Structure 1
Amino acid sequence: MACAVCVQPGELALEARPYPTEAAEGWVLVDIAAIGICGTDYHIFEGKHPFLEYPRVIGHELSGILAEGPEAGTLVVVNPYVSCGKCRPCRRGKPNCCARIEVLGVHRDGGMCARIAVPRDNVYPATGLTPQQAAMVEFLAIGAHAVARSEVGTGDIVLVTGAGPIGLGTAIFARLAGAEVHIMDVSDDRLAIARDRFGFAACHKPGDAIVSGELAEGFDAVFDATGNARAIEAGFPLLAHGGSAVLVSVVKDDITFSDSEFHKREARIIGSRNALKSDFERVIAAIRAGQVPTDAIASEVVSLADLPGRFPGLVTDRDHLVKVLVTP
């Protein structure tokens, strides 16, 4: 079968790999229906991912059809975080931060292909969704998990910095939780998408005098989805007393902040990594209920055969895109 392989930075190619016909005990075969292209895939192509060895079959935002067993034919979402089930986080119900986690498309080959074998416990029924909607669940679950970690709700005022797909997903689920949502980004194009396609009217640029007037007391939560150390640090002064800085993105840099200001606010720093089964299920239910504007999320659909030729252009044009989906 044809697989999209990032051979080395700057080179994506279709390679023939064996078509899986058997799965190990506890694993199942899934015929891939749709794949979302993630910022991680772009970073892999650009050579910016810190945990990757080339060559690698990319793709971890996956929907598919169970190929075997009593539930064969069922549309499912694939949870791409393969956990060990034995380490302390796993034993404590936190497989999303497993000490030996392997993410499909990063630590092991992903699903940008026709069929993949995954752990049985990593597939969730997506009844009522289309295959393309089901391929959006994983990235939306990242934001849903961050919102759940923050404990924001009705009456809270929050800021999401970074209006890419992860930031938009975070903003959508913060809004569903009842919060008043503001969005900040350096890109006018991304802010226009957030405003015009998703209805987030309160959009800001870095450097705006945002903590003033009705917002003079700051935000109850600031979610960072930029992956930029300076942006993370700039978020701390925007916190209200008792507020939370939620780090959805991850950076390799050290982060600094004023300890006295942090203590004065009794602020919290919350790391948010990956997502749990409950987050996937929350997203599936929200899409099924029509609470997530999936038509606005889907920017373009590309066939797997066309992907190597299209991928460099998608990388450079990603400020104008929300989610590109691939069909095998």
Structure 2
Amino acid sequence: MKALVYTATNEVIYREEPNPNPGIGESLVKVEASGICGSDMHAYHGKDPRRVPPLILGHEVAGTVVSGVAEGKRVVINPLITCGRCPLCDTGRSNLCASRELIGMRLAGAYAELVTIPSVNLIPVPEGLNAVHASLAEPAATALHALNLAMQASHRPLAELRTLVIGGGAVGLLAALLLRGYGCRRLVVAETHGMRRESVARHVGCRVHDPINDPALDADAFDLVIDAVGGGVTRKSAMTAVSPGGIFIHIGLMDSGGELDIRKLTLFEVSMIGVYCYTAADMRAAVQAIADGMLGDLGWAETRSLADGAQAFDDLHNGRSAAAKIVLVP
């Protein structure tokens, strides 16, 4: 099969790779669409020690089962593989399973014509939903999981909260779209990339903010702050912006540097919540939300051929693409 292989820092190569062989309880899926995640870019930059080249990256995937229990069915893959037996899995928090694995991390991922996955990780695609849109279920599930945690921590409905989303990439944009769907009107998305700000304004219809050139946002002004970048600078901005008694949702994993205002966190009783991936229920709900049109027309996603994947990575690396998501199609 053909695959896009991460071979060295800032290098991915489209080449021939052996076909994967599904094991017991696994299915073989023909990949129809696979999105480029920020974590894949992190690996591409040589900053993820868990992803060791040579490795086929990619975990945001939709396709058709070619062998296994659902042969012939169109599916979205839940790429998070868990034990299904531990206390965390038993209580619905499978994303925190100590035995969890993610395709495209140590296991071969989906920037390929074929990928294997446990059959329990297959989610049916509703009739009429195209593969590119279906592949967005994985980042949508991350955003959905984050907002579910925010709901649990909030004393008021999310629609009533003054909300700031930091980062207009796929997860930040999808979180903003979900918030709009929940009725949130006092919503600001902060993004440094000019074309992405334009895309957010067009597709979400909310206020956008340029952290570099616009006047600073008011301190202590937002009941809910979602950091979908996860860098030292954005954490500092989030802590400045969050109000007394507010909620700080931390999704991104750009770096672990910088200082965090623990004094404010304590004196203002700020609820800071880390978010990792999603549960199986979140994935199913995300697929349905996309199929129901809750996230709009998804016209901000750009499609490219898997054969042109190296150029797509290079364009993202050099800021030449305004797309919040590039989806690769074999």
Which residue matches 2:236? 233
Which residue matches 1:94? 93
Distance 1:69 1:84, change over 3 A: closer
The share of aligned pairs that are identical, in percent, is 27
Question: Gaps spanning 5+ residues in structure 2: where?
Answer: 152-156
Letter matched to residue 18 of structure 1: P
Which residue matches 2:182? 177
What value does the CA root-mean-square deviation take over the aligned residues?
2.1
Aligned pairs (5 A) from 1:15-164? 15-20=15-20, 22-69=21-68, 71-128=70-127, 129-151=129-151, 153-164=158-169
The size of the alignment, in residue pairs, is: 321
Candidates 247, 255, 260, aligned match of 1:256: 260
Question: Gaps spanning 5+ residues in structure 1: where?
Answer: none
Which residue matches 1:322? 324
Q: Deviations over 1:260-306 (max 9, x none)?
A: x323322101011001122222222221121213442322x222223
Matched position secondary structure for 1:197: helix
Hey, what's the Cα distance between the residues in 1 that align with 2:130 and 2:71? Answer: 17
Runs of 4 or more consecutive aligned structure 1 residues displaced over 6 Å after TM superposition:
none
Hey, what's the Cα distance between the residues in 2 that align with 1:188 and 1:305? Answer: 28
Deviation (angstroms), 1:170? 1.5
TM-score normalised by the chain length of structure 1 = 0.90
Letter matched to residue 19 of structure 1: N
Hey, what's the Cα distance between the residues in 2 that align with 1:110 and 1:277? Answer: 18
Matched position secondary structure for 2:281: helix
Hey, what's the Cα distance between the residues in 1 that align with 2:82 and 2:320? Answer: 30
Letter matched to residue 309 of structure 2: L
The answer (yes or no) to whether the contact 1:61–1:137 under 8 Å persists in 2 is: yes
TM-score normalised by the chain length of structure 2 = 0.90
Which residue matches 1:210? 217
The answer (yes or no) to whether the contact 1:35–1:112 under 8 Å persists in 2 is: yes
The answer (yes or no) to whether the contact 1:187–1:319 under 8 Å persists in 2 is: no
Q: Deviations over 1:293-322 (max 9, x none)?
A: 3442322x2222232355323431355122
Letter matched to residue 206 of structure 2: F
Distance 1:176 1:318, change over 3 A: farther
1:194 matched to 2:200? The reply is: yes
Letter matched to residue 268 of structure 1: S
Distance 1:294 1:23, change over 3 A: same
Q: Deviations over 1:211-263 (max 9, x none)?
A: 27xxxx6211100012211211221132222211000112322642142x323
Which residue matches 2:172? 167
